[in-house]
Structure 1
């Protein structure tokens, strides 16, 4: 049976957290850490971390739209981070940690804008949603050592203190959506 594979590119703080969560969901073919939205071609992690490339840490998600919709991906995305924090997530500060949806087509743009408006009306967070909705541009896959980082580096201090608790909360909330 043919799959209806589509792409989403999302930024919500450290890409290790977002990538690990999406790779554990049913309907996700793959999720890769990367960089998007900047002006520098083929940036390195070190360059992006300096904060002057314009790139955000992103996750490129390849998903089967017949098994998980783009809207469902966005709902999970908003549950994974605080979209009211401008250019940061927790202690990770800088434009590379901004909240952003990099849409691939007009339908994705409309879905993102509608969901942000709905979430804003629901008053879930104490502040306004600052997630930018921008056409995907200048996407570059991150270095190999960033892929599956949490799985490959379980003893890393950042993973233990930041990623693991976030993933535990995610797995509890979305238990029915997880791969076996």
Structure 2
């Protein structure tokens, strides 16, 4: 089976991971930190907002079952890409919207999808989503992995919006 990996940041990684893992074609998810300036970042550092890391979901998927384009279209339905450094009540750089690409093809597709989302007007204003080459991924602590499976009543501000692009 062919697999591909990408990294998506769209606010609190608990809710993002919970929705992404349920998408047909997603093989595996893992939460962690990317895009900052601290080696081996930890939650206690990232939550201060001083490391510039984003709470990120590593997504391994089967591109024959789920195209990268369709994965991104879903990503833009499960978070608000127009709020800078914020999702719901979560505020800070760690909650920004960012796509960390792992290939030139992913970079091109991300730009295409963002243009499509913006053109649709579904969000009322342009996406603030940043597209960047994937830097090193720091895996989050064990208690963050599969958090909402372990804590079904846990906090999330993520849900599938009824928007079309």
TM over 0.5: yes
Tell me the equivalent position of 1:50: 48
Structure (1/2) with the larger helix percentage: 1
SS of alignment partner, residue 32 of structure 2: strand
Alignment of 1:1-180 (within 5 A): 3-156=1-154, 158-159=155-156, 162=157, 166=159, 169=160
Q: How many residues align?
A: 163
> Mind listing any 5+ residue stretches in structure 1 that lack a counterpart?
174-180
What stretches of structure 2 of length at least 5 have no aligned partner?
none
Deviations 1:2-37 (A, max 9, x none): x11000100000000110111112111101111100
Q: Distance in 2 between matches of 1:117 and 1:75?
A: 11
Conservation of the 8 A alpha-carbon contact between 1:38 and 1:138:
no
CA distance in 2 between partners of 1:19 and 1:95 (Å)? 18
The TM-score normalised by the length of structure 1 is 0.86
Q: How far is 1:132 from its partner?
A: 0.2
* Higher CA-based Rg: 1
Runs of 4+ in structure 1 deviating by more than 3 angstroms, as ranges, are none
TM superposition shift of 1:53:
0.6
Q: Secondary structure at the match of 1:79?
A: coil
Equivalents in 2 of 1:6, 1:131: separation in Å? 21
TM-score, normalised on structure 2? Answer: 0.94
